[in-house]
Every structure is written in C-alpha cells, then in structure tokens.
Structure 1
Amino acid sequence: MTELELMARLVIAGILGALVGFEREKRFKEAGLRTHFLVAVGSALAMIVSKYAFYDVVHTGTIELDPSRIAAGVVSGVGFLGAGTILVQRQSVRGLTTAAGLWATAGIGLAIGAGMYIVSICGTILVLVGLEVLKRLFQPIISKVHKLNIHVTSNEVIVNILDILTSQQIDVVSYQVTVISSDTHTHYSIDFQLKSKKTIKDNEIVKLLQVLPEIERIKFD
C-alpha cells in the first residue's frame, strides 16, 4: 500500500464528510461542515493506522494484533461527540439527527480508510437522502411540531389563544404557563407545543394573535 493511496483515502473521506456537513450547515445545526469533515478524516486516519501501521511488528512472527481495535474505538469516541450536539429544551429534544449524522459520517470515514470506496459513496448518498429527501417526501403525511412562546398580562386570555389556534386547524399538544411576578404587576409566559399536518405560516398566526390586547410578546419557532 503506497503512501499516495492512503493520502487519497483521507482526501476522499474529507470530501464525503463535508457533503454531509454542508447539509447540516445550511440548516444552522450545531455540528456543521467543519465538524463532519474532521470526523470523516479522523475516522479514516484511525482505520488506516489500525489496519496498516503495525506491519513492521506483526510480521516478526511473535506478535499478533487485532487490526479492528483502534477503529472500534472511533465508534465510542464519536458517540461522546454526538451527545454534545443533543440539547434538551423544556419538553423537547433537539440535535438527535445531527448526532446520528456524525455517527454515520464516522462510519463513512472508517469505510474509506479500509479501502471500501463504493460502499462509502453509497453510504454518503443514503445519508444525504435520509437528511434531505425523506423529510420532503413524507412531510405531507407527518405532523410537524412547532413551539410558540407568548407573554401575556392575564392568564384569562389563554382560552382566546386556544380558540385562534384551533380555528387554523392547529392541534395544541401541550402548553405550560409560567408566572413572572414583579413589584408592579404580574406577567405570564405560555409555552405551546403545536402540531399540524399543513405548513404553519408564522406570520399569519402572529397577525391573528396580535389583535388580543393582553399579549405583549410572541415568539414562534
């Protein structure tokens, strides 16, 4: 195995990892192009070291090594890295897709490091299909969850807010009210989890809610 071919494997791994990272980058995710690039290159390098770096001692006849041990450590290492991208915010979990993408990118890098070019390219295509195409394909039949935060001066307006949301065929999965007290008056922060099979246009929802005088602030996610 020549050094030039091993270097080419690192380059190919970086390119494939960057393709996955670019998809995450344009969606403003925690781990983007550079992170996926580094994961793919690092995984490929670990596989190359694991597979080829010990030939000088293995062929002595007295030492036997498992060439998969270093590569197996990559899976655990990337698991810790992926855990850092998972965020728990109130009652929702975010970052699972990005964490899975990092794990898949590590697998792509390992396969490139092992010389499995066709399998790696196929794996990259499937990952991109899973991240980009499947969401658009099943979006019409899968309800999407949105988050809505509203600050109001009276908790009695909650009934009116619910009426407006349901009139737009939006299901309220749950809502949580937090009381914010001060020396002068009391405010209420309401966190809604909404679900709808159709696309929710945040500007239309905001226009409908703004007619309620008790509402001070609206944040739609």
Structure 2
Amino acid sequence: MDTIDHHIWTITHGELIARLMLSAVLGGLIGIEREWSNHAAGFRTHILVCLGSTTIMLLSVYGFSEFVDEPNVRVDPARLAAQVISGIGFLGAGAIMRNGNVIKGLTTAASVWVVAAIGLCVGAGFFTGALISTLLVLVSLFLLNKLEKRHIKDRRNRELELEMVDQAGTLGQIASLLGDHDVRIVHIKIVPGSSADHPPSVVVQLTVQVKRQQKFMEAIGRISACPNILSLTSGSLPAASSAG
C-alpha cells in the first residue's frame, strides 16, 4: 500500500497568515481602482472576496488533512474551489445594472470574479499565477481604461430629450440635421406631451452616437433654433454597453 505524504496536506501558521495577508493585498489593489471610479463593488468588497476564496481554498487543501488516512475518504482539493467559481456569480450579478438599452457594471462584475480566482491561486500556493494575474488586471483597469477613454471620448452615446410641436415633418427635420453632423440615431422613443398644450406637443427621447463632440454641439445649436422645438435637454451615456 502506498504511503501518504502528510507534508503536502499540512501548512504552518506563518505560511497560513502570509497567504491570507497576500490575498488581502492583491484584492485590495484591484479594489482601489473600482473604489476610485465609484463602482458598486469597491475596496472592501474586493478584499473580502479575495480573502474568502483564499480561506476556502486553504480549507479545501489543508482543512481535512486528518482524514487523508481514512480508506473510504477521497480528498479532492478542487471541489470547494469549483463551488467558489460558480457561486461568486451572485455578487457579480448584483453589480450589473440595466438602464434601458445600456448595461453598466460588467467590468466590476468581472473584476469580482477574477479576484475570486486570484484568491484561490493564493490559497493553493500558486503565487506566480496570482501575482501575474493581479498585474494584468491592474494594467487592464488603469492603463487600458485611460487608452480607451482617450481614443473613444468623442464617440460616446448621448441622450437627447426634445419637446416639440406635434407637426408632420418636424422629426424628419431633426433626424436630417443630426445626420448632416455625423450623429447617428441609435434608439428613439416618442411619448405624448402635456394634454393642455396648444398646439399639441410630443416628447421625443433619442439615444444618439456621437463621432465628434464639436459637430454634436453644432447640431444641438441648430436643433434648438428650430421654431417647432419647445425644449431640449442632453445627457451622456457610457460609450459601450459593458462600461463600468
């Protein structure tokens, strides 16, 4: 009968503390970026997720060492780790919000998920993988985020709300003005205006894609000058549906 090497199933208190501390540091580094960006899952959340997954991994590997000699017990260190990966989804789902056709929080949900994976790596002693993964996540969240904003800052979605006189041809004129300034209509919604209006009015809610900010502002100015436009408000939306 093969002898069992008990050394691989044990861990010193010092190494246990070191792994938990490293887990808190790595999770906190990623959480700092989310906290600075005012996202739902921030500094403390990422630390707790990373610590929790590390603790579960440590439990899975070393918590049942006294049972390895039992003939009817099969020790599987990956079993609890698999449950962490599938179970962390509820936190990610809580960070995702939908506003019409725009979805926010996907990046935060992904960061929570990858922090759990980093915690499992630390708990299992796979330090190289944990450190490289943390470095790549920070590069993605900090550097790539800045590059993304720099290159697509003029290609954002905007939300326009127009109250206009309910007259044939007015909406077509607005669409033509936007098209002349390279502004593409992504979504449109029309609701009735106040029933007390004379003449009757409608409220048009537009989601538009802007290529150049200067042209967009020129289009806003020309639309505001139209005689059938009663009011106009504008707001920005995330440049991509996976933002946040």
User: Is 1:22 aligned to 2:22, yes or no?
Assistant: no
Letter of the structure 1 residue corresponding to residue 108 of structure 2? T
After TM superposition, give the deviation of residue 29 of structure 1 in Å.
2.0
Letter of the structure 1 residue corresponding to residue 235 of structure 2? F
Classify 1:154/1:26 alpha carbon distance in 2 versus 1 (closer, same or farther; 3 Å): farther
Deviations 1:142-176 (A, max 9, x none): 98441313141435554454345444433222322
After TM superposition, give the deviation of residue 131 of structure 1 in Å.
2.4
Quick check: 2:184–2:210 contact (8 Å CA) kept in 1? yes
Q: Provide the aligned C-alpha RMSD in A.
A: 3.0
After TM superposition, give the deviation of residue 59 of structure 1 in Å.
2.9
Deviations 1:98-157 (A, max 9, x none): 211111111111111111222111101111222232344355379844131314143555
After TM superposition, give the deviation of residue 56 of structure 1 in Å.
1.3
CA–CA separation in structure 2 for the residues paired with 1:31 and 1:16: 15
CA–CA separation in structure 2 for the residues paired with 1:9 and 1:205: 57
Match of 1:137 among 131, 136, 147: 147
User: Is 1:2 aligned to 2:15, yes or no?
Assistant: no
The residue that corresponds to 1:150 in the other structure is 161
Q: Which protein is bigger by CA-based radius of gyration? A: 2
Quick check: 2:181–2:216 contact (8 Å CA) kept in 1? no
User: Is 1:178 aligned to 2:188, yes or no?
Assistant: no
Letter of the structure 1 residue corresponding to residue 165 of structure 2? S
After TM superposition, give the deviation of residue 33 of structure 1 in Å.
1.8
After TM superposition, give the deviation of residue 26 of structure 1 in Å.
2.1
Quick check: 1:13–1:109 contact (8 Å CA) kept in 2? yes
After TM superposition, give the deviation of residue 66 of structure 1 in Å.
1.1
Q: Which stretches in structure 1 are left out of the alignment for 5+ residues?
A: none
Quick check: 1:145–1:193 contact (8 Å CA) kept in 2? no
Quick check: 1:151–1:187 contact (8 Å CA) kept in 2? no
The residue that corresponds to 2:108 in the other structure is 98
The residue that corresponds to 1:218 in the other structure is 233
Quick check: 2:183–2:216 contact (8 Å CA) kept in 1? no
TM-score scaled by structure 2?
A: 0.75
CA–CA separation in structure 1 for the residues paired with 2:215 and 2:106: 25
Q: Which stretches in structure 2 are left out of the alignment for 5+ residues?
A: 1-10, 237-244
Identity of aligned residues (%): 32
Classify 1:197/1:10 alpha carbon distance in 2 versus 1 (closer, same or farther; 3 Å): farther
CA–CA separation in structure 2 for the residues paired with 1:187 and 1:22: 48
